[in-house]
Structure 1
Amino acid sequence: MKRGIMLLVVATILWGGNYICGRYLAPALPSNLLNTVRWAISSLLLFGLLSMNHKRLPLFSQWKKFALLGFVGIFAFSTLTYLGLRSISAAQAGMISAGIPIAILLFTPLILKERVKAKAWTGAFLSIIGVVILIRGEHAANGHSSIVGEIEIVLSCIAWGIYTVLGKRFGKTMDPLTMTAGAAVYGTLFSALSCIGTVRLNMIHMTPLAWLSVLYVSTFASVGAYLAWNTGVKIVGAGRAAPYINLLPVWTVIFGILLLRETVSILSVGGGAVTILGAVLASL
């Protein structure tokens, strides 16, 4: 159990860095191209890990599961996150992501057929209020804060909630490495298809820092974090894993302030705290 908890914490730290790199890469690459490059590299690394462990990737026999996981967890979640980070701060995006456990809660009875208690729904309502306060706080303190960017991050939270619950369901018959690799391949394919007709050469502006950021999101924030999260969920269960995603906004705010010199309004911090409190209550 302790090993599972440690893996969940490590995953949130690595994902916190992903939000920072997403901000750095916003002017360097279109979001869907960034996601394609990121997961193409990650897929190769995952193939290598599978080969080292003498495992076969059933890309065709399990294509429905991999395609579903790849669409929601690789393509939708990551692309929406990078889209949102083009117009809002990493700290703000991180605090909105505190609503991820609510998305997990909403889809648990639909996909896993598990009963959700009244206390959990109370926490969900409280968390939604917190997100509203957070967004209003950012608009009050920063007039050009983008409502579109905020909606994109909210939608990414919903995508990750679906991915987590599906991962728990499919994890009963599939190990985390195989599941992550299969999802990565199909997610890369969806991302590549989305680039057709939407990406032009004059939209690419790479710098040495941008290349380092791509390297980070393709390794630590992809292979490392996804394997850590999937393994942790398998060890402790989806319900117990849910509260640990609340560490993500904490790391993101800290990294945003230290590395990007971002500022956060008092009202937004209060909204983020209410969101986290509601999410923890919902996950108990």
Structure 2
Amino acid sequence: MKKGIILLIFATFLWSGNYICGRFLAPALPPILLNTIRWAISTIILFCLLILNRQKLPIFKNWKEFSIQGFFGVYAFSTLNYLGLQSISASRAGMISAGIPITILLFTPLILKGKIKIKAWIGALISIVGVVVLIQGKSSNSIESSIVGDAEILLSCVAWGLYTVFGKKYGKKIDPLTMTAGAAFYGTIFSALSCIGNVHVNMIHITKSTWICIIYVSTFASVVAYFAWNTGVKIVGAGRAAPYINLLPVWTVILGVLLLQEQISIITIFGGIITILGAILASL
């Protein structure tokens, strides 16, 4: 049990690093290009893992499932995150992302036809109030850009909620590694296509530090975190694992302050705490 909990905590820590790297890479690469490079590398790694496991990837047979998962989980979620991180701090983005469990809760009855308990809806309402309070605490000099950044991170939460719920639906017939590899493949294609006409050479400023961040988000924040989380879920169970996702904003705030010297307003912290508490109540 302890091993499983450690793996869950480790996974959220690695995922929080994606927000830090996304903020650091904001001036270096356009969000769409960053996402394309990230998932192209991750796709190659996942394909190699499939080969080592002697598994085949039914790219065309399960194109519908892979394309839906690739669009929401790989293309929309990651791109919106990187877009938001161009105008708001990593700490702020991480706390807004505490609303992810709520989006999962909202889409569950619509897509999976599952029943949600009243306590979960109360938790969802509390989290929504927390997000509203959180957004009142401006962390950007430009109010307009802060609002846009907040909206982009909120939309990324919606994308991840859809990815998770559809993943539960399709996971009954496709194993996690195959699903992730297929989603990464199609998501990379969507991302690459969106680069056409939107990315120009003068927008790219790559340094050694840039490559280190790209390697991190392509390996540790993608493949390694994925395996750590899924192994932890397998050990402790999905129900007990769910609340641990709320460690993501906590790690993001800590790393944002330590590594990026970010400053957070009291209102933002207060809103983040309310959001996390509501999400925990909804997850239990």
Name the TM tier (shorter chain).
over 0.9
Write the letter of the residue equivalent to 2:248.
L
Are the structure 2 counterparts of residues 34 and 93 from structure 1 closer, same or farther at C-alpha, using a change threshold of 3 Å? same
The TM-score normalised by the length of structure 1 is 0.94
Q: Distance in 1 between matches of 2:126 and 2:89?
A: 23
Q: Deviations over 1:139-159 (max 9, x none)?
A: 6x8554610000000000111
Are the structure 2 counterparts of residues 248 and 147 from structure 1 closer, same or farther at C-alpha, using a change threshold of 3 Å? same
Q: Distance in 2 between matches of 1:254 and 1:78?
A: 21
Deviation at 1:110, TM superposition (A): 1.5
1:79 aligns with 2:100: no
**Contact 1:180/1:227 (<8 A) preserved:** no
State the aligned residue count. 283
1:41 aligns with 2:4: no
Are the structure 2 counterparts of residues 48 and 16 from structure 1 closer, same or farther at C-alpha, using a change threshold of 3 Å? same
Instruction: Calculate percent identity across the aligned residue pairs.
Output: 70
Deviation at 1:165, TM superposition (A): 1.6
Q: Distance in 1 between matches of 2:280 and 2:209?
A: 36
Q: Distance in 1 between matches of 2:181 and 2:93?
A: 26
Tell me what 1:194 maps to. 194
Tell me what 1:97 maps to. 97
Are the structure 2 counterparts of residues 18 and 68 from structure 1 closer, same or farther at C-alpha, using a change threshold of 3 Å? same
Are the structure 2 counterparts of residues 116 and 236 from structure 1 closer, same or farther at C-alpha, using a change threshold of 3 Å? farther
Q: Deviations over 1:210-243 (max 9, x none)?
A: 1100010111111112333345556666554432
**1:250-269 → structure 2 map (5 Å cutoff):** 250-269=250-269
**1:102-251 → structure 2 map (5 Å cutoff):** 102-138=102-138, 144=143, 146-232=146-232, 240-251=240-251
Write the letter of the residue equivalent to 1:53.
N
Q: Deviations over 1:222-278 (max 9, x none)?
A: 111233334555666655443222110000000000100001111111100000011
Give the match's secondary structure for 1:10.
Answer: helix
Q: Distance in 1 between matches of 2:280 and 2:141?
A: 28
Q: Deviations over 1:101-142 (max 9, x none)?
A: 000100111122210011111111110110111110226x85
Are the structure 2 counterparts of residues 234 and 61 from structure 1 closer, same or farther at C-alpha, using a change threshold of 3 Å? farther
Write the letter of the residue equivalent to 1:171.
G
How big is the alpha-carbon RMSD for the aligned residues of Structure 1 and Structure 2?
1.8
Q: Distance in 2 between matches of 1:174 and 1:232?
A: 19
Q: Distance in 1 between matches of 2:82 and 2:156?
A: 10
**Structure 1: unaligned runs, 5 residues or longer:** none
**Contact 1:165/1:238 (<8 A) preserved:** no
Write the letter of the residue equivalent to 1:196.
I
Write the letter of the residue equivalent to 1:128.
I
**Contact 2:90/2:256 (<8 A) preserved:** yes
